[in-house]
Amino acid sequence: MEALRIYTEKPYQLRGEVTISGAKNAVLPALAASLLTGEEVHLTNIPLVKDVQTMLTLLAELGAEYSLKKKSLTISAKKILSDQAPYQLVRAMRASILVLGPLLARKGRAVVALPGGCAIGTRPVDLHITGLQKLGAEIKIEHGYIVAEARRLKGAEFEFEKKTVTGTENLVMAAALARGETVLKNCALEPEVSSLCELLVKMGARIDGIGEETLRIRGVDDLGPASHRIIPDRIEAGTFMVAAALTGGDLVLREVEPAHLQALTDKLTISGARIEKSGRRSIRVIGSQEIKPQDVTTAPYPGFPTDMQAQFMVLMTQASGTSIITETIFDRRFAHANELTRLGASIEIQGDKAVIRGRTPLSGAEVMATDLRASACLVLAGLVATGQTTINDIEHLDRGYEKIEEKLVKLGVKIERLKNNNNHRTGGKP
Ligand code: EPZ
């Protein structure tokens, strides 16, 4: 098991510049969309993270061919050799569910393993399924697999009971090749959804209402080639913004989209940080000496992102007072609280709320990463926890952050990657 070790004699003040990578949650649907055509799709600003490799492995198994050079990728699914997304790949990455809609639309059949739950919640896909059934798909659940069939999907009207990012993405991709018009209501508004729609339009799809809650998709018979740049990763950017606020640092983030970061920017400003635009695609974050406590409730975009909840919790452990974080999206997304408590934080979980009493000095320890954003939160905690913090199981981190230790070393952090670190905690592992 690989680990990251951070040496913190005294708390860091991050200073300097960091360039943000392309968004994991934008590149995954864009890759899945390549199944909708036999032509070449060219994607740039690809983040070199583990989930991209997993998705490319899956697409290759389905018959796609690709070449990845540095951060540019050309992929074409001239022929679909298989319609099966096997369990071991779907288990490794829930976002594999994104091949369901495109495979069904292109091939007329898709057999995708049910993703199952994960560390942050039960993660159902019922809305993906009922939406595709509304478009005329025959869907059975057999032996842990979604078996979907439809000679040709038919346009229909469908309203999502609740906002779902990949649910919206799956339905838009399926509707792009359906016969007739599809109207999707209560769609997710995340920038990654809009960016996928823009790629589909470049491929020849006819989509109105991009960026709004109602999307109108007039199906076409075929989609063609396209070139598309992956948007910046607003969660990686948010993670570094919190790092600057947490350490009282002064950080310039390059290659960001400030408009995608408004909810976090507002909360960091209230906590005392100064955030300035420095150039069209750059922002500067200057941390304050005193961090003010505040309450946060996660919500679908443009609300405060659930993917920033764990990182913000670390900041609130250093705030001068009590804060309450309410997690409304996932039912089990507080696992990181236990690990922060081991570093010295005072956090009490009460149902969907975490009550954080600051300010508590943190001291380094061995901790365990449970999921992607929890891992990021522990790296942030390591920046202000005096002594040595070892974050085990960082495979989670590598799924969504590109070379994070290299970026932190450039900002003056003493951090190293340990191969085969087997110092597991003695005593009752949860
Ligand atoms: C996407 O997951 C992101 N992943 C997640 O990022 C992110 O946390 C999440 O959206 C919320 O913003 C990708 O885009 C690859 P949802 P997704 O469907 O689409 C419920 C990360 O760290 N729901 O928007 O799986 C669900 O239980 C990851 O990068 C249903 O009930 O999330 C949740 O409560 C973690 N039925 C809510 O909707 C469904 O059919 C939102 O989930 C689908 C979802």
pLDDT band of 279, cuts 50, 70, 90? confident
The one-letter code for the residue type at 357 is: R
Sign of CA dihedral 132, 134, 135, 140: positive
Q: Distance between CA 367 and CA 344 in Å, rounded? A: 12
Identify the residue whose C-alpha is closest to ligand 1 atom 7.
Answer: 307
Indicate the length of the chain as a whole number: 430
Token pair, residue 93, equals: 């990455």
Query: Which pLDDT does position 422 carry in this prediction?
Result: 65
Q: Is 303 in the pocket of ligand 1 (CB under 6 A)?
A: no
∠ CA(158), CA(163), CA(164), 5° rounding? 90
Distance 392 CA to ligand 1 centre (A): 25
Compute how many other C-beta atoms are within 10 angstroms of the C-beta atom of residue 346. 14
Q: Is 229 in the pocket of ligand 1 (CB under 6 A)?
A: no
Q: Average pLDDT of 266-285?
A: 95
Task: Tell me the average pLDDT of the chain.
Answer: 95
Strand locations in 171-295 (E): 181-185, 206-208, 215-218, 226-229, 250-254, 274-277, 283-286
Q: Is 236 in the pocket of ligand 1 (CB under 6 A)?
A: no
Identify the residue whose C-alpha is closest to ligand 1 atom 39.
Answer: 125
Query: Which pLDDT does position 427 carry in this prediction?
Result: 39
Q: Average pLDDT of 34-44?
A: 98
Query: To test the ligand 1 pocket, which listed residue (54, 123, 230) has its Cβ within 8 A of the most ligand atoms?
Result: 123
Query: To test the ligand 1 pocket, which listed residue (21, 24, 25) has its Cβ within 8 A of the most ligand atoms?
Result: 25
Q: Is 166 in the pocket of ligand 1 (CB under 6 A)?
A: yes
Q: Is 123 in the pocket of ligand 1 (CB under 6 A)?
A: yes
Query: Which pLDDT does position 429 carry in this prediction?
Result: 40
Token pair, residue 413, equals: 């952090």
* pLDDT digit string, tens, across residues 9-23: 888 899 999 999 999
Query: Which pLDDT does position 102 carry in this prediction?
Result: 98
Identify the residue whose C-alpha is closest to ligand 1 atom 9.
Answer: 165
Q: Average pLDDT of 93-110?
A: 96
Query: Which pLDDT does position 423 carry in this prediction?
Result: 55
Q: Which of 5, 3, 11 is nearest to 363 (CA)?
A: 11
Three-state DSSP at 138 gives strand
Query: Which pLDDT does position 48 carry in this prediction?
Result: 97
Atom number in ligand 1 closest to CA 97:
25
Q: Average pLDDT of 340-350?
A: 97
Going from the C-alpha of 79 to that of each of 76, 161, 420, the distances in angstroms are 9, 35, 40
Query: Which pLDDT does position 350 carry in this prediction?
Result: 97
Distance 133 CA to ligand 1 centre (A): 20
pLDDT band of 207, cuts 50, 70, 90? very high
Q: Is 330 in the pocket of ligand 1 (CB under 6 A)?
A: yes
Q: Evaluate if residue 112 carries a pLDDT over 60.
A: yes
Distance 145 CA to ligand 1 centre (A): 19
Q: Is 191 in the pocket of ligand 1 (CB under 6 A)?
A: no
Q: Is 127 in the pocket of ligand 1 (CB under 6 A)?
A: yes
Q: Average pLDDT of 75-88?
A: 94
Q: Is 157 in the pocket of ligand 1 (CB under 6 A)?
A: no
The one-letter code for the residue type at 397 is: L
Edge to edge, the sheet with strand 109-113 lists: 84-85, 109-113, 145-149, 138-142
Distance 338 CA to ligand 1 centre (A): 23
Q: Distance between CA 336 and CA 391 in Å, rounded? A: 12
Q: Average pLDDT of 28-43?
A: 98
Query: Which pLDDT does position 91 carry in this prediction?
Result: 87
* pLDDT digit string, tens, across residues 215-226: 999 999 999 999
Query: Which pLDDT does position 10 carry in this prediction?
Result: 84
Distance 245 CA to ligand 1 centre (A): 27
Q: Is 162 in the pocket of ligand 1 (CB under 6 A)?
A: yes
Task: Single out the catalytic residue among 118, 187, 197, 377.
Answer: 118
* CA 233 from centre of chain: 8
Distance 125 CA to ligand 1 centre (A): 9
Q: Evaluate if residue 127 carries a pLDDT over 50.
A: yes
Identify the residue whose C-alpha is closest to ligand 1 atom 26.
Answer: 123
Q: Is 29 in the pocket of ligand 1 (CB under 6 A)?
A: no
Which stretches within 215-320 are classed as H helix? 234-246, 262-270, 309-317
Q: Evaluate if residue 426 carries a pLDDT over 80.
A: no
Identify the residue whose C-alpha is closest to ligand 1 atom 16.
Answer: 164
* pLDDT digit string, tens, across residues 152-192: 999 999 999 999 999 999 999 999 999 999 999 999 999 99
pLDDT band of 425, cuts 50, 70, 90? very low
The one-letter code for the residue type at 322 is: T
Weakest-pLDDT range from 38-42, 117-121, 419-423: 419-423
This prediction's pTM: 0.96
pLDDT above 90 as % of the chain? 90
Task: Please provide residue 345's backbone torsions phi and psi, each rounded to the nearest 5 degrees.
Answer: -75, 160
* pLDDT digit string, tens, across residues 280-334: 899 999 999 999 999 999 999 999 999 999 999 999 999 999 999 999 999 889 9
Q: Evaluate if residue 428 carries a pLDDT over 50.
A: no
Q: Distance between CA 17 and CA 166 in Å, rounded? A: 32
Q: Is 118 a catalytic residue?
A: yes
Token pair, residue 244, equals: 């600057």
Query: Which is more confident, 369 or 230?
Result: 230
Q: Distance between CA 222 and CA 215 in Å, rounded? A: 19
